[in-house]
Structure 1
Amino acid sequence: MFAIERRQRIKDILVKEKRIDVCNLSENFQVSEVTVRRDLDKLEQEGFLIKTYGGAVLNEEHSTPIAYTDNLETPEEEKKLIAKIGAQMINEGDAVFLGPGSTILEIVKLIKHNRMTVVTNDLLVALELKDCNETKVVVTGGDLIQSSSILVGQIAQKLIQDIYLNKVFISVKGVDLDSGYTVDSYEEAMLIKQILSITKEVIIVADYTKFNKTAFARLGSFNIAKKVISNKQIPSEYKKFFFENNIKLYTTYELE
């Protein structure tokens, strides 16, 4: 569980229980008490809680239970939580591909000051990074898909042939047990398939609204990636499938 997930879980517990104990949280999350105390320090700085001896209590003046009930997060808020998980997977010095998509753009905003190399076929990603001196940005070039910021085609594919990447982040438009992963255009699918062959780690990014949906072009079956980042709201049958097929699922909340 990432720090952002752990802190959100602490918030949920506090809303329900009004108080928490460092020792119990350490056992439940399987982290050190020092780590838990750091989480509490962060949440106290946000004004969410008040630290006490051995734990913390909810700051009633700052927090209201309704703000943290399960079904009130908007898709945009959920995308930002996904982005925080994705950003923590990127290390200094990595060479990564960051494809199109609003969720990936949120990842870019969080890692834009890292010393790294970013390869992208999305003009919006490149523009977000244009003033980042520590980040080397490589744009594939290619044909612009009409009414989008996405570059595809032979020019993009030619550049991809001659590089190697540590990690590839792919945002998909559909996730379906029968269709696998799908995207909006055939040209985009062809480019992504080529990108998958030049990396050792593929990470699928898909918020919960993409599940049980199929877009126009098939990208591949679920076995093209061993890591998936999504939200706690995804259907239970997908959680079960990922677990049984040794695909690591990272969600914005503890798995049910």
Structure 2
Amino acid sequence: MAILRYLEQHERIGVQDIVEQFKVSRDTARRDILKLEEQGSIVRTRGGAILPGSARQIRSYQERLQLESEGKRAIGMLGARFIQDRESVMMDASTTVRFAAEKMESKDNVVITNSIDIAAVLADKGNVSVKLLGGDLDLENRYVYGPRAVQMLSDFHVNKLFIGACGITVHGLFSWSEEDGLILREMMRRADAIYVLADHSKFGVQLLYRVAGLERIDVVITDEEPAEEIQDALRANNVDWIQATKHLAKEDATE
């Protein structure tokens, strides 16, 4: 079915996505979601659907780099603007955070990361001091993890942390694995301000490992407006959220 094919590519679909993609009414979109849920093919979320855990696959780094790339680039561009000269920064191995690293224009920064790709991107800039965590290398996902990496993090404290998220719900941030989640949790302990860079496909997705509650983060930068339920939860936890695509479009219009 077309909805399932869409989910295999984008991981999440909303009722409005079905209406626009397949030229059907909202009532038809809702009936299709209900039918697929009855068949066990999807898991219904507020305003849409995701694939069930057994059907969802952790995509390779290169595949994730291509998914929703236009939105991720906008998020990364805006995220990079929050980095000031001479600030110390941590960055996780998220593909969206990599776009922020590519767009960095600030100078004399120290950046601590567990991403071998982000380390390489920043090393080419020449005006950033890069500290790459040591530990076990997950080559497929291009990052370092494990007890040594967590121990190294305990020696640092930074001005700002930029992380991605595999899932964001009213209950907090979620990761696909405990190993990744432990790194994120330790990074969050070591930063004054925490920025989550996440495209719209991550909202409403609850995964195996809960990294932290929403109260632990300061800003969410995304590409599309979150569902009202998520917005309410962010406001309740004093979390600011910014729609990067709209923000950048306004800037372009005023230039």
- Under a length normalisation based on structure 2, what TM-score does the superposition of the two structures give? 0.67
Structure number with larger C-alpha Rg: 1
Residue 146 of structure 1, CA deviation: 5.1
2:196 is matched with which residue? 204
Give the C-alpha shift of residue 254 in structure 1: 5.2
Counterpart CA distance in 2 for 1:233 and 1:156 is 35
Whether the 8 Å contact between 2:71 and 2:245 is mirrored in structure 1 is no
Q: Does 1:175 align with 2:168?
A: yes
1:192 aligns with 2:184: yes
- 2:136 corresponds in structure 1 to 143
Amino acid across the alignment from 2:134 = G
Partner residue in 2 for 1:123: 116
Displacement over 4 Å in runs of 4+: none
- The alpha-carbon deviation at position 106 of structure 1 amounts to 0.6
1:115-145 per-position Cα deviation (integer Å, ceiling 9, x unaligned): 2111000101111122222100000111112
**Cα-to-partner distance string for 1:83-112 (whole Å, 9 max, x where unaligned):** 121011100001100111111111011116
Alignment correspondent of 1:245: 237
Task: Choose the corresponding residue for 1:82, options 56, 61, 75.
Answer: 75
Residues 121 and 151 of structure 1 are in contact (CA less than 8 Å); yes or no, is this contact kept in structure 2?
yes
SS at match of 1:85: helix
Q: Is the 8 A contact 2:215 2:238 kept in 1?
A: no
| Identical aligned residues as a percent | 22
Q: Is this contact kept in 2: 1:113–1:132, CA < 8 A?
A: no
Deviation at 1:236, TM superposition (A): 2.1
Between the aligned partners of 1:78 and 1:229, the Cα distance in structure 2 is 11
Match of 2:217 in 1: 225
The residue type equivalent to 2:142 in the other structure is: S
Cα distance between partner residues in 1 of 2:69 and 2:187: 27
| Pair 1:118–1:80, CA change in 2 (3 A) | same
The answer on 1:97 being equivalent to 2:90 is: yes
* Conservation of the 8 A alpha-carbon contact between 1:205 and 1:229: yes
1 CA distance for matches of 2:127 and 2:245? 32
The residue aligned with 2:154 is 161
The alpha-carbon deviation at position 177 of structure 1 amounts to: 1.9
How much is the aligned-residue C-alpha RMSD, in angstroms?
1.8
Aligned CA distance change for structure 1 residues 187 and 107 (closer, same or farther; 3 Å): same
Amino acid in the other structure paired with 1:223:
E
- For 2:199 and 2:94, the matched residues in 1 are separated by 11
Counterpart Cα distance in 1 of 2:105 and 2:137: 24
Q: Which amino acid counterpart does residue 92 of structure 1 have in structure 2?
A: D
SS at the partner of 2:191?
coil
Q: Which amino acid aligns with 1:97?
A: M
CA pair 113-248 structure 1, distance change in 2 beyond 3 A: closer
CA distance in 1 between partners of 2:189 and 2:232 (Å): 27
Report deviation, 1:231. 2.0
Aligned-pair CA distance for 1:184? 1.8
Q: TM-score, normalised by structure 1?
A: 0.66
Are 2:213 and 1:235 equivalent residues in the alignment?
no
